[in-house]
Structure 1
Amino acid sequence: MVVTTAVNKEAAKRSGTSCLRQKKSVGLSCVEKKIEAAMDQARSTISKIFNGEPHSYTRFNLTQNMEGDNSQVEMKLSSDIDEEVGGNGVGDHLNHNSTRKPYVAQKLGRTPKNLCFMAATTLLIFIIGYLIGYLVHRKKDAAPTCALSVERFEGAVAHETGAAPLMDWDDVKNLLAQKLDAASFEPVFREFSSDSHRAGSPGDEVLGNKVIKKLIEYGMKTWTDEHFVKVQDPPASDSNKVVFNGTTESPKGFLSYSANGKVKGAVLYAYYGQENDFMSLRGKNINMTGRVMLVRAGRISFAEKVANAAKMGAVAVLIYPDTSDYPTGGTPTELFGHVHMGSGDPYTPGFPSFNHTQFPPVQSSGLPTILAQTITSSMASNIWSKLGGQNVPEGWQGLEGPNLGDQSNVITVEVNNVLNEKKIINVFGVIRGFVDADRYVVIGAQRDAWGVGFATSTVGTSVLVELARSISDMVKNDGFKPRRSIVFASWSAGEYGSVGATEWLEGYLSSLGLKAFSYINLDGAVTGQNGFKAAASPLMYSLIESTLKEVNSLNPIKTLFSEFARGNWESNVLEPLKLDNAAYPFIAFSGIPSVSFGFTSDKSEYQYFGTLLDTREKLNMVTGNQVPQLAKIVTQFAGHMVLRLVHDHLLRLDVMKYDKIIRTNVAQINGKVNTVKRMHPQLLPEALTVKWMISASGSYSRASRKLVADIQNSDLEDIEMCRIINDRIMAVERNFLTPYVSPREDPFRHILLDAGSQSLKALANHLDLLKEVHPNADADLFRYQFALATWTVQGCANSLAGDIWSLDNEI
């Protein structure tokens, strides 16, 4: 027998639907319990009426009908089951043509007495149904328990529905400004200062543990990477020696990765050891083969000086700090550094130095084949005083002697460096993003130093830790939710050539190339107070400019914007990214847009880098005791860049900046090709044309403009579309790494920022050699490199365009 009670739509939503939700966590709802009690009463009454045993409850449904207008309460008793299964099978009771009599009629017959009894029974059932409906309706209005429990349930499952709530940018930058204070840097400087923390030493490990303890304190997920790297150190029992005119000197400074041995040759002064300096010597018809080059420190890296000298046929290089560049007040200055023309462990080129990697013995092509050693300025003066030969070229005169040296000025150089394997530890912490957690910006600082290394490592590590504290606090207590993740990294073995950072890049190259969209370097962030310099990927130029303006408005210090305010900010603030900059391998090896910046002195070089004199006192001297104040501003500068990159829906990387650079390089190559074809038509065939490279340049230009248009027309609330556009932006730098050169043979493969054989700069230089019919010129090799460079530019344009049906096929 079926009893159906209609309940209005509102009752269904507030009683039926809500109570069903609550049933998941608390069991049977209050409404069901009362209905079940009423049903028990009905079963008992019916059983008594029919003078039989109570029948069991078989099915109870509380459902909305298809129209959504009401709810039904349906009861089926065991009598229904008897009827359903007692014939030809399930469902026979639905057949209205059945000849079987109803169960009650068969039992009672159709006498007047029985009919009256049935009418009374029907009335009783009607009353019971009415009572059930009344109880349901009354429960809806009168009983608050169920409704209250539903409210608590719904409140407990609140969750993100998509993009992270976007905090207004002005609120974000003001929050960061509130978190930073110059006075807070003093205790951090003290905590991370150390007299001895050379890479792999106990002091280095102690500092690493301090960093990771801080990151854990700030609530970050932390981890470490261990690498076993080979580095060269000075001999422990012996010493390196320089013998000149009967006097033997044993300098304490050294150059890691120098060739070992003992050589003898005539001294030749080569100024700073730059390519044009050696060209000046060649112009004087000076034979440089077998010579020992004496060069000043500065302008270019030690590794570049040695590599340039090796090309000229030199057998050794002596590098000294000229007093005009290193005004140390008469204190002997020992120089420390490395001469690997690359970065990372040179004995695992292109792959990581994890302890589980078992490769055959191999070494980097960037290791020098000649000896290299540093000497003090006083040692250099003793040599200068006895040199003969030609006068130095015009413009070279300084405090040195007037002569370059001749074949009679013989000097002996002996290098006995020791190759050691050391365990180094990189330390990491992460603030996870709320939308694209698998996309991240990396911000890092070197932790090791030759000596105290206050400007080299202490300031950068302190800025890293303070920035981690500030942003963590913004996320934890102020409701800031970065869309993308932020990785904080403390590197070891930076003094040996960004070894820790490069090994990490090599270990996770395939992953980082797809997920890390920027690197921000904090090394050397404060080395003066009279200027501000930045070296970066062109993709980050616009971000640097906007950040300068914002930070300057919050910190109106004259030194920050003094040069920028007077003219073209790019010419006054930007400088090339050098080989020895820790940000360089991120761009040239991994294709990750990177930036390095900081306050500088008038000469833009800190004279205590690579010395044991890099102390707090020396840095105070060159900054006017403003180290905490300047550290606060560079922390704010770095923080603004980081937060901008993880706050906005779309990455603030300007793909149009490379357009001008490509066109400038292509125009230069085009002019030189035409010149060589005109002067030496036998070298380059008439069929060789720059047309296809020009076309590739045009493809990039059109693809970059199309992407800018897509950005302007994009729906910022469309998470998937934003991710697609950001992936196209991220691929630009990576696609400028030529795929035609092995990372093992040439790890730096960027065709626009590197000077390797595959770069556009190398093509222009090769054309100069062809123009001079130089012995090193190779027309066939040029054509091969020219074709590969063309297709690298076109490949980047194709990637930037997006889908394959959007490609520019004109080439």
Structure 2
Amino acid sequence: MAGPINQARAKISKIFNGEPQSYTRFNLTQNVDGESSHVEVKLSGDGEEEMDGTEAGHGHPASTYRLPQRPLRPYRNVCYGALVVLLIFLAGYLIGYVTHRKPEASKLAETGPGACTTDQPDGNQEEGVIAVAPEPSLDWSDLTSMLQRSLLSSAFDNQLRNFAMDSHEAGSSGDEVLANKVLDIFKSLDMNPWIDEHYVQLQMPPPSNPNKVLFGSDEIGPTKGYLAYSAKGTKEGKVVYANYGQNEDLKYLRTAGLDLTEKIVLMRTGQISLAEKVANAAKFNASAVLIYTEPPFNSFDTSTDLYGHVHFGTGDPYTPGFPSFNHTQFPPAKSSGLPEILAQTITADMALKIHQKMGGSDAPEHFKGKLKGISKYRLGGDGDKMTVTVNNALVDTKIHNVFGVIKGFIDPDHYVVMGAQRDSFSKGYAKSTVGTCLLVELARAIAEMTKAGFRPRRSIVFASWSAGDYGSVGATEWLEGYLSSLDKKAFTYISLDGVVQGQTQFRASASPLLHSLLKDTLNELKTVSKYGDLFQFSSPRDFENTLETMRMEDGAYPFLAFSGIPSISFRFGSDRAYGYFGTALDNKANLDIATGQQLGNVCVSAAQVAGQMALRLVHDHILRLDVTSYTRIIRKHVVMINSRVNQLKHAGTMSAPLSPKWLMSAVGSYSRAADSVINEIQNSDLEDQEKCRTINNRIMRVEHNLLSQYVSPRDVPFRHIIFGTGDHTVSALTDHLKDLKEQVVGSDADLLRNQFALTTWTIQSCANDLAGDVWALDNEI
């Protein structure tokens, strides 16, 4: 109401003196000499106080105008008339404003910080009128409170019932049903959803010609389980027990005099991925691999089939390095990570029969497993002949990735991605169902926050992937499809796969750029989360103990090692590993037991971790990616390399000296560039949007610049020099230095020098880009 009054006052003032910045004061006084009354008009500037007792001749000359002592009557009547008209106009205007004022059509939110509401006396609101409220200002505590209120255990319980399915293998009708459920939810939240279709080759055993395993002439039971992307055919040979199939296990067998060439290697699950087990056996020239799951608990059904894949990579192995969109015609190609040997799973019951039949020398203590009914584990004798037949066939399959987006208001082309796989070989309750429910509930919560006033600076993309059980196929195909642009736009990936496996431990795998953000998030949640006691860190080492190395089977791995996008995955677990992945026992009953019947509450805590990290990344002016963290990581590797170089010098096995000087200089360049970014942030006006965007662009490029530019993404997909695989990595360089010192067959001094130079320039290039404009560089390398 103040607005109309001020306008009316200005109009009145302007009529009388043409100065809208002053007000008019009327004094009707009686002439002491008995003459006619007169009107005294006093003009005062805004804010000037009225002087008490002011009379004719005693006021301020600059602010008082006195009409003539003997005014004519017509003039006096005109003044009175004008005054009456103006007062009537003013009263009518104010009455009309009050009586015709419309209430707001709707409330942004009934409760919560930043809500803008107008209460009506009768509690009703008129329809058809949209109120434009001022943009609310929400601080960080407002956002975290809103998120916590939005995440409810009962909501997760409902979603878990909605998304639980016994059969939803990639490309199946069950997978499509779930995809449509996700799509419908994204539509209902106005998230502009879209779908990517991919045509990929998945491998499955034909129902009419199952895979077989024989010990001698006896078939060791039928099995429905299988390992996708195994080689096809039949192999016969001696069986050898190789524990977990790690490199050190296989080296022990060779040291013990057991040659694995053309042997069938028996392994148990654990320690490393199924694909890595098979790849290791292939390096030792084995012909086939059999893998079984030991019962992790007494309740484990030993007749349970095991499913998985053995592609030592991610994505469709028959379109390596390029996407599989819309039946695009590709040249014949296949991933170098496809095994050339047979691989098949067997049940624990079948493994027990094989162990009971095996002879040979006793296995070492650390090879002994947990199968009941075995008095001694043996490595295998000369008469232990087995036959393995694998008939898996490739099937052209259409899969769908489903996306929704909450767009940012300042930098909408920069986004954090949260994703979860939707498919599973079997029930996949912990592996995929829980993650999918977290995805849609976080989408709902954050979408509602935007309606209640939250204005994210950057966008959040929610992604539901298919064919995750075949090696992150859907996610990798998407990354390959947008390889040239994602590193400039997607600045973080948060994986929701397998986030709930228990309730007594918290573990995470992440890019070093995200370590500080994760730690800060857990510190904030330790007082509000039901599982905050898991986030109590009395020292830096306590936090470091929660961190694990990201493995290739991790859903976040291709984002980090293939695309150079800072990525994180985490899980709530227990002292005993959740041993049901890849089996039909990954169901609600077993996950309820693992979480102490508190599944809904653990889901809330997991969603709080993921959601609060995402909100922080899209809320702050500067991206919460700690560029200084890589200084310590890279320096740690360089210290090891320097130690190996010194050992090589003392051994005298190189004809020309090798100096780590330039590599150490590159590390120094990165350290200075990282420190300069921090200083620039501290000394910058963070309300300057262009300045913030420039700094953020430099920060976003760090992870991508640690992908080696000297190898092809088609031939070497995981190009990251820290987390990738191949000769370009710093770990390969370190190993090569050791091999050269010991003069191992295959070590090459010239190749070593190339590795040294390319590693140096990868780090230096990363430092140069982080430092800023080319004219700001001051490197003497």
Match of 2:699 in 1: 729
Q: From the CA coordinates, give the structure whose radius of gyration is larger.
A: 1
SS of the counterpart of 1:385? helix
Q: 1:716 to 1:264 in 2, by over 3 A?
A: same
* Paired residue type of 1:803: D
- Whole-Å Cα distance in 2 between the matches of residues 206 and 330 of structure 1? 29
Q: CA deviation at 1:677?
A: 2.7
Q: 1:330 to 1:223 in 2, by over 3 A?
A: closer
Match of 1:529 in 2: 503
* Residues 166 and 647 in structure 1, CA contact (< 8 A), matched pair in contact too: no
Alignment of 1:700-715 (within 5 A): 700-715=670-685
Match of 1:554 in 2: 528
Alignment of 1:184-583 (within 5 A): 184-249=155-220, 250-323=222-295, 325=296, 327-399=298-370, 401-476=376-451, 478-557=452-531, 560-561=534-535, 564=537, 568-583=541-556
Q: CA deviation at 1:544?
A: 0.6
Match of 2:122 in 1: none
RMSD: 2.8
- Whole-Å Cα distance in 2 between the matches of residues 647 and 681 of structure 1? 55
- Whole-Å Cα distance in 1 between the matches of residues 14 and 729 of structure 2? 71
Q: CA deviation at 1:566?
A: 7.8
Q: CA deviation at 1:753?
A: 1.3
SS of the counterpart of 1:554? coil
CA offsets, 1:520-561, max 9 Å, x none? 000101111120111110100011111111112112436533
Q: CA deviation at 1:355?
A: 1.6
Which consecutive residues of structure 1, in runs of 5 or more, have no partner in the other structure? 1-9, 16-134
2:704 is aligned with 1:740: no
Q: 1:558 to 1:484 in 2, by over 3 A?
A: closer
SS of the counterpart of 2:367? coil
Q: CA deviation at 1:261?
A: 0.5
Q: CA deviation at 1:306?
A: 0.6
2:602 is aligned with 1:602: no
Partner residue of 1:169 out of 140, 143, 156:
140
Alignment of 1:689-700 (within 5 A): 689-700=659-670
Q: CA deviation at 1:666?
A: 0.7
Match of 1:113 in 2: none
CA offsets, 1:562-617, max 9 Å, x none? 6x4587233321111111001000000011001101211213x3211011111100
* Residues 416 and 617 in structure 2, CA contact (< 8 A), matched pair in contact too: yes
2:589 is aligned with 1:617: yes
Q: 1:732 to 1:145 in 2, by over 3 A?
A: farther
Q: 1:403 to 1:503 in 2, by over 3 A?
A: same
Q: 1:14 to 1:661 in 2, by over 3 A?
A: farther
- Whole-Å Cα distance in 1 between the matches of residues 763 and 133 of structure 2? 41
* Paired residue type of 1:587: L
- Whole-Å Cα distance in 2 between the matches of residues 390 and 801 of structure 1? 61
Runs (4 or more) in structure 1 with deviation over 6 Å come to 141-149, 155-161
CA offsets, 1:21-57, max 9 Å, x none? xxxxxxxxxxxxxxxxxxxxxxxxxxxxxxxxxxxxx
* Paired residue type of 2:148: A
* Residues 422 and 465 in structure 2, CA contact (< 8 A), matched pair in contact too: yes
Q: 1:777 to 1:145 in 2, by over 3 A?
A: farther
Q: CA deviation at 1:398?
A: 2.8
* Residues 706 and 763 in structure 2, CA contact (< 8 A), matched pair in contact too: yes
378-387 vs 702-711, greater mean Cα deviation: 378-387
Q: 1:351 to 1:326 in 2, by over 3 A?
A: farther
* Residues 326 and 608 in structure 1, CA contact (< 8 A), matched pair in contact too: no
SS of the counterpart of 1:574? coil
SS of the counterpart of 1:749? coil
- Whole-Å Cα distance in 1 between the matches of residues 745 and 773 of structure 2? 46
- Superposition TM-score, scaled by structure 2 size: 0.82
SS of the counterpart of 1:286? coil
Q: CA deviation at 1:279?
A: 2.0
- Whole-Å Cα distance in 1 between the matches of residues 234 and 538 of structure 2? 54
Which consecutive residues of structure 2, in runs of 5 or more, have no partner in the other structure? 1-9, 16-81, 105-128
* Paired residue type of 1:490: S
Match of 2:566 in 1: 593
Q: CA deviation at 1:332?
A: 1.3
* Residues 529 and 559 in structure 1, CA contact (< 8 A), matched pair in contact too: no
* Residues 531 and 602 in structure 2, CA contact (< 8 A), matched pair in contact too: no
* Residues 532 and 598 in structure 1, CA contact (< 8 A), matched pair in contact too: yes
- Whole-Å Cα distance in 1 between the matches of residues 132 and 671 of structure 2? 43
- Whole-Å Cα distance in 2 between the matches of residues 693 and 627 of structure 1? 49
* Paired residue type of 2:446: I
SS of the counterpart of 2:526? helix
SS of the counterpart of 1:517? strand
* Paired residue type of 1:201: S
